[in-house]
Structure 1
Amino acid sequence: MVNKILIVAGTRPEIIKLAPVAHALGKVATLCLVHTGQHREMGAAAWQWFDLQPHYDLDVMEEDQPLSVLLGRLLQALHPVFAAEKPDFVIVQGDTASALAGALAAFYQHIPVAHVEAGLRTFDPTQPFPEEMQRVLISRLASLHFAPTAQARDFLLREGIPDEQVIVAGNTVVDSLKWLLESGKGRLPEPAHKALAQGRRLVAVTAHRRENQGERLPALCESLKSLVARHDVEIIFAVHPNPGVRRPVYALLDNQPGIHLLDPIPYPDFIRLLQACHFIVTDSGGIQEEASMLQKPVILLREVTERPEAEQAGVVKRVSPQTLLEEADRLLDDEVYYVSRCQSPALYGDGNAALRISQGLVVSS
């Protein structure tokens, strides 16, 4: 019987996707929430948006910390927590360093691991880096795998994961997004509100992945400058706090007319921005899912995606920073094409993923 469940999360996306799981499990088991601090400020705020308070804050982040050092600090910080709490299950989500460390630390203490959003694959260990390898490793450590889609389940089975350990639950981001939309929380950022009042169309932009840092990020900034030169659009760029992103973006785009650089936007407000925008430019995985539910086209700044369902449905299209402008112009100028890019069915579930995960954990015991 599952009496105590410990959830490890450290980044904003993890918390957003695990919040509905925490609420569902809190009704049937004793719950312990561990915030690793991988996203210090963004993560702390994310717990609050969903009326949750972590029992532990490990505060592991240091500036310019190598991945190997981060993983070591996470393992060292998690060990005494697991030893003291003695949970029946540890839950991790996705593919972050916090998720890998949570799964590995639990494995070392013979604690079963449940992996939420299991089975996503690009089959290229360098893209996204290091997330692809991290989620593959978590699959070897977990004993219960909650796949968001049937295709993710198939990938796990091909890797030799026993069928009885895999449950297609849907994606918990749908649970969170539905709850948020129904709650009425969030408001449109002021620059976006003003742009719409002036009859401009909005383009929402995010970029944070390692493969887009370096030479690709300046190319993205130049394409965004060309895009606002049309004078009928304005860009809201939510700039990631990573110095490798923030420094070049502000150096190239600060005070650029038509481009508004904002600190990370609170999730409820960010969802209101996605609702209001014409399309989205991003390298995010989770935004592909949110855009699908909101039926907003995504220009994806990646060479591969672990969410092929959204690409097959047409809501996501991969481009390079250099070819972004061509696709953006088409979305702005070709109404028939734009509408075709907005037609996405319920790719990631019905909003009951957290309930299925809760039931799956109870049954597994």
Structure 2
Amino acid sequence: MAHIEAGLRTYNKFSPFPEEMNRQIVGLMADYHFTPTEMTKENFLKEGKPKNQVFVVGNSAIDMFQYTLKDDYTNEALSWQADKKMILVTAHRRENLSDLEEIFDGIAEIADEFKETHKIIYPIHMNPIILEKAQKLLQHSNIKIIDPLDTINFHNVMRHAELILTDSGGIQEEAAFLGIPVLVLRDTTERPEGVLAGTLKLVGTSKENIVNETRTLLTDKTKYERMSGSKNPYGDGTTSLQIINILNEK
């Protein structure tokens, strides 16, 4: 058994839930562990895995961009946003459901404070709790709530964002490839190499932190460019080929 995107850890089984537990369980069963970074490899070595079973190959999610990005892509939400810069939001984690009001109040304040320069697009998760709170708290002319997007549509919308606010895991890696700063709406991340590289920052779920950190990036060009110009630590788009070559040698 081979595990791709192996070795990600927060060591908190409830964050992210249930992914953290699932990853550790699969790690116990797998024969080969294909990890995205040296840090994720070290997690396995600390857990006692043999070195000859662990391979640093980057993340296969980065490979997809060569197939998904389209120069002639059009979308109704992008047309709505075209006269201003875009902030892209995703928020869906189970562990954040109790903090949705704080998160959404912060997003609404950002929409109001930067209404002259930015619009916010939120591809919403269809969880009824999220839907209800979003419809109640995100009624603003500069916020557009849209249906969930598949991978191709999401990548092509995301590439136009100036800033991303998210509690997602994969987006932290994908945005780094595109050079888009990410404020992570969580207190922990299984992708600490992004924090160290400077491509993302943990801001938690409090309204005050979300607003303040967003304001800093949107008003301080130096800090924004430092994040957007940070080196992507998650691979060069050849992960799948590396995995195939390694398995062919086994």
Letter in 2 for 1:120: L
Q: Tell me, what secondary structure is at the counterpart of 1:341?
A: helix
Counterpart Cα distance in 2 of 1:186 and 1:203: 21
* Structure 2 unaligned regions, length at least 5: none
Contact 1:186 1:269 in 2 (8 A): no
CA contact (8 A) 1:188 1:269 kept: no
Q: 1:291 offset after TM fit, Å?
A: 0.7
Picking from 135, 139, 152, the partner of 2:27 is 139
SS in 2 for 1:115: strand
Secondary structure, counterpart of 2:64 in structure 1: helix
Distance in 2 (CA, whole Å) between partners of 1:363 and 1:243 is: 48
What secondary structure, in the 3-state scheme, does the structure 2 residue paired with 1:229 have? helix
Cα contact 1:185–1:268 (8 A) shared by 2: no
2:63 alignment counterpart: 175
Give the conservation status (yes or no) of the 8 Å contact 1:310–1:344.
no
Quote the residue 2:44 is aligned against: 156
* Corresponding residue of 1:228: 111
1:202/1:273 CA distance change after superposition, 3 Å: same
Within the alignment, does 1:218 sit opposite 2:101 as a pair? yes
Structure 2 distance, partners of 1:259, 1:242, is 19
1:42 is aligned to none
1:290 and 2:174 matched: yes
CA distance in 2 between partners of 1:114 and 1:331 (Å): 40
Cα distance between partner residues in 2 of 1:352 and 1:268 = 19
Unpaired runs of 5+ residues, structure 1, are 1-112
Q: Percent identity?
A: 37
Q: Is the 8 A contact 1:203 1:233 kept in 2?
A: yes
Q: Which has the larger radius of gyration?
A: 1
User: 1:302 aligned to 2:186?
Assistant: yes
Choose which of 215, 232, 241 in structure 1 pairs with 2:126: 241
Residues 301, 264 of structure 1: CA spacing in aligned structure 2 closer, same or farther, 3 A cutoff? same
Question: CA shift at 1:188, angstroms?
Answer: 4.4
Decide whether the 8 Å contact of 1:203 with 1:280 is kept in 2.
yes
In structure 2, how many angstroms separate the alpha carbons of the residues matched to 1:192 and 1:311? 29
- Matches of residues 1-365 of structure 1 in structure 2 within 5 Å? 113-181=1-69, 184=70, 187-196=73-82, 198=83, 200-214=84-98, 216-230=99-113, 231=115, 232-253=117-138, 255-321=139-205, 322=207, 323-364=209-250
* Structure of greater relative contact order (alpha carbons < 8 Å, 6+ residues apart): 2
* CA separation of 1:315 and 1:346: change in aligned 2, threshold 3 A: closer
Secondary structure at 1:317 match in 2? strand
Q: CA deviation at 1:186?
A: 7.2
Aligned 8 A contact 2:217 2:224 in 1: yes
Alpha-carbon distance change, 346 to 331 in structure 1, aligned in 2, over 3 angstroms: closer
Match of 2:165, SS? strand
Does the CA contact (< 8 Å) of 1:281 and 1:301 recur in 2? yes
| Residue 190 of structure 1, CA deviation | 1.8
Query: Structure 1 252/128 Cα, relative in aligned 2: closer, same or farther at 3 Å?
Result: same
CA RMSD between the two structures: 1.6
Q: Say if 1:239 and 1:264, in contact at 8 Å, map to a contact too.
A: yes
1:313 CA displacement:
1.4
Q: TM-score, normalised to structure 1's length? A: 0.65
Give the TM-score, by structure 2 length. Answer: 0.93
CA 1:153/1:209 → structure 2, altered by over 3 Å: closer, same or farther?
Answer: same
In 1, the alpha carbon distance for the partners of 2:50 and 2:71 equals 41
